Amino acid sequence: TMASLPTKMKGVIIEKTGGTEVLQYKTDLPVPSPGDGQVLVKNDYVGVNFIDTYFRTGLYPAPKYPYILGREAEGTVVKAGSGELYGLKEGDKVLMLSEGTYAEYTAANAVKAVKVKDGLEAKVGAAALLQGLTALTLIREAHPVKKGDWVLVHAAAGGTGLWLVQLLKAVGANIIGTASTQEKVDLARKAGAEHMINYSHEDVKSKVMELTKDAGCIAVFDGVGKTTFDLSLDCLARKGSMVSFGNASGAVPPVTIGRLSAKNARLMRPTLFNYIATREEFEHYVDELMDFITEDKLDARIHETYALSDVARAHNDLEGRKTTGKLLLDPSK
Ligand code: NDP
């Protein structure tokens, strides 16, 4: 067995909702103990996701206070709990989706943890898991994308955006992406979005209609939310799927369903967790994602690895649209 575990750890909690000032970096949080169906993981890298900012601001309610933020990490199992652990044991390198990952240690549900595939470089799993699975389930289930489909991806240079672009390219879609700066436009184009539009000053709808010969896109993947919703419907093809999967610019206001009849459109508002609710679904999509990463040589673009104590800057950068790709936290610092 491993050397004895410490009783205190570094971590970031919130006790109330608000701006980045409510993020409290602590060095004396209790190390959790793994319960039934759980493993205790010492986190090497922790993924930052836009959803973490929603829990901080209160757009999504935290289940309790004080609350440790964070939804994903890569690390090492240091203690096994009881019950069904899906074969995980002490010493295993794992990727996991779990609450409470903005910390040195997390008691994670084994059902949403998997061993790191041999040969996968450090950080890649933490950069890929939540956003890569989101992108993959969206193109497989929210709208099953086929070769040759015209699709529109907003915020194509973001974390989820770059996974969407790379996966859509791998399945042979015609990708139109949007982003707010020239640097982001160039990056997403390099990742596989052949047609990029700078939506801070270009007319997206007319460019989409020009590219698609007035047909529009059969699917729009919109994680921007409030500011792009109407535009996305405008860019949709007849019988197209409007996949609204996030709120980076704010929540989409209520929509009158009658608006969908103009194009016989489908409107989806999916979350990753409802596509990977069972162990079978989770393993299926993790395997498929890892196969894409290794076989199609998908690139986990890491914007920056921030010290955990620097978490406020990470949130400011993400919400301030200053980042491309993935933000990670190093919980040892
Ligand atoms: P990103 O790395 O994509 O960052 C958000 C991006 O959104 C920014 O970089 C920015 O790109 C764009 N954006 C447009 N308007 C704004 C605004 N007003 N404020 C901030 N950003 C803006 O983050 P994630 O990949 O973590 O998440 C992307 C979206 O996907 C989020 O809405 C998130 O909630 C959602 N999501 C949903 C999941 C689900 O299960 N439904 C799972 C994972 C993510 P630009 O400057 O180019 O406009």
pLDDT tens for each residue of 291-321: 999 999 999 999 999 999 999 999 999 999 9
Over pLDDT 70: what percentage of the chain? 99
- What b-and-e string marks burial along 221-245, b requiring 16 or more CB atoms within 10 Å of the CB? bbbbbeebbebbbbbbbeebbbbbb
Cis status of the peptide bond prior to 30, with omega within 30 of 0 = no
- Kindly give the number of the ligand 1 atom that is closest to the alpha carbon of 271: 40
CATH of region 8-123+300-330: 3.90.180.10
Place of tokens 């929210």: 142
- Kindly give the number of the ligand 1 atom that is closest to the alpha carbon of 48: 26
* Confidence class for position 210, pLDDT limits 50, 70, 90: very high
Mean pLDDT of 74-98: 98
The per-residue pLDDT for 230 is 98
How remote is the CA of residue 89 from the centroid of ligand 1, in Å? 35
Structure confidence by residue, pLDDT tens digits, 166-204: 999 999 999 999 999 999 999 999 999 999 999 999 999
How remote is the CA of residue 70 from the centroid of ligand 1, in Å? 16
* Confidence class for position 3, pLDDT limits 50, 70, 90: low
* Confidence class for position 143, pLDDT limits 50, 70, 90: very high
* Confidence class for position 78, pLDDT limits 50, 70, 90: very high
* Confidence class for position 252, pLDDT limits 50, 70, 90: very high
> Alpha carbon of 286 to those of 120, 232, 241, 243, 280: distances in Å?
13, 29, 24, 21, 10
- Kindly give the number of the ligand 1 atom that is closest to the alpha carbon of 49: 26
How remote is the CA of residue 314 from the centroid of ligand 1, in Å? 14
Mutate to test the pocket of ligand 1, among 20, 49, 50, 184 (most ligand atoms within 8 A of CB): 50
Domain ranges of the chain: 8-123+300-330, 129-272
The per-residue pLDDT for 4 is 86
Provide the residue type at 58 as one letter. Answer: G
Structure confidence by residue, pLDDT tens digits, 4-35: 899 999 999 999 999 999 999 999 999 999 99
Q: Is the pLDDT of residue 1 over 70?
A: no
With contact defined as beta carbons under 8 Å apart, do 232 and 244 qualify? yes
Q: Is the pLDDT of residue 267 over 70?
A: yes
Q: Which CATH architecture has domain 129-272?
A: 3-Layer(aba) Sandwich (3.40)
**Fold match flag (8-123+300-330 vs 129-272):** no
Structure confidence by residue, pLDDT tens digits, 124-141: 999 999 999 999 999 999
Mean pLDDT of 75-93: 98
The per-residue pLDDT for 2 is 55
The per-residue pLDDT for 77 is 98
Ligand 1 site residues (CB inside 6 A) read: 49-51, 130-131, 134, 155, 157-161, 179-180, 184, 223-224, 227, 245-249, 270-272, 318-319, 321, 323
CA angle 133-135-139, nearest 5°?
Answer: 115
Q: Name the 3-class secondary structure at 150.
A: strand
Q: Which residue is closest in CA terms to ligand 1's atom 19? A: 249
ipTM of the complex: 0.99
* 58 conformational bin, left if phi > 0, alpha if psi -120 to 50, beta if neither: left
How remote is the CA of residue 295 from the centroid of ligand 1, in Å? 27
How remote is the CA of residue 223 from the centroid of ligand 1, in Å? 5
